[in-house]
């Protein structure tokens, strides 16, 4: 079984697909589905189906006011969903070893200042994804 260490995740954000990879220190793309019970009268055990899918993305970023803060403040202030892409192995073409995940996030919060004296200025965000995640890449 192949193992992988994440060192080159490519992340773009916004309508201009701004590459924010050099500011990202951690990323988690999550997808979950609601559990819908389908048991009916006379059933002796619970049966289920997958319901609505809910997705989110969590980022840890190094703050940079001319780039990161402006980009995310503008997105938050606009109040609409923003395009985002994630590729685990850099900016190369989407493939089975470098799938591309494209989606739109809804910026629901923004913390422009975070940290203590002597700390690196960082930002932690978790945004809900509006709609589906589109995965592309050969064999993906």
For the chain of 140 residues, list the mean pLDDT of each consecutive stretch of 10.
87 95 97 96 95 97 94 96 95 89 97 94 96 86
- Specify the pLDDT at position 138: 72
Please say whether the beta carbons of 52 and 132 come within 8 A. Answer: no
Q: Which residues contact 69 (CB under 8 A, 6 or more apart)?
A: 63, 112
pTM beyond 0.85, yes or no:
yes
- Specify the pLDDT at position 131: 97
Long-range contacts of 116-121 (CB under 8 A, 24+ apart): 120/62, 121/62, 121/63
- Specify the pLDDT at position 3: 86
- Specify the pLDDT at position 129: 98
């Amino acid at each position: 079984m192949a193992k992988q260490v994440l060192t080159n995740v490519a992340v773009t954000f916004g309508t201009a697909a701004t590459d924010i990879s050099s500011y990202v220190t951690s990323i988690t793309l999550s997808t979950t589905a609601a559990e819908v019970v389908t048991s009916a009268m006379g059933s002796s055990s619970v049966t289920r189906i997958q319901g609505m899918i809910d997705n989110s993305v969590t980022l840890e970023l190094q703050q940079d006011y001319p780039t990161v803060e402006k980009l995310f403040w503008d997105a938050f202030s606009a109040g609409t969903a923003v395009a985002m892409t994630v590729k685990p192995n850099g900016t190369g073409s989407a493939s089975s070893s470098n799938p591309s995940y494209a989606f739109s996030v809804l910026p629901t919060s923004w913390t422009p200042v975070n940290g203590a004296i002597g700390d690196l200025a960082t930002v932690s965000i978790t945004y809900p994804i509006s709609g589906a995640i589109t995965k592309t890449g050969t064999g993906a």
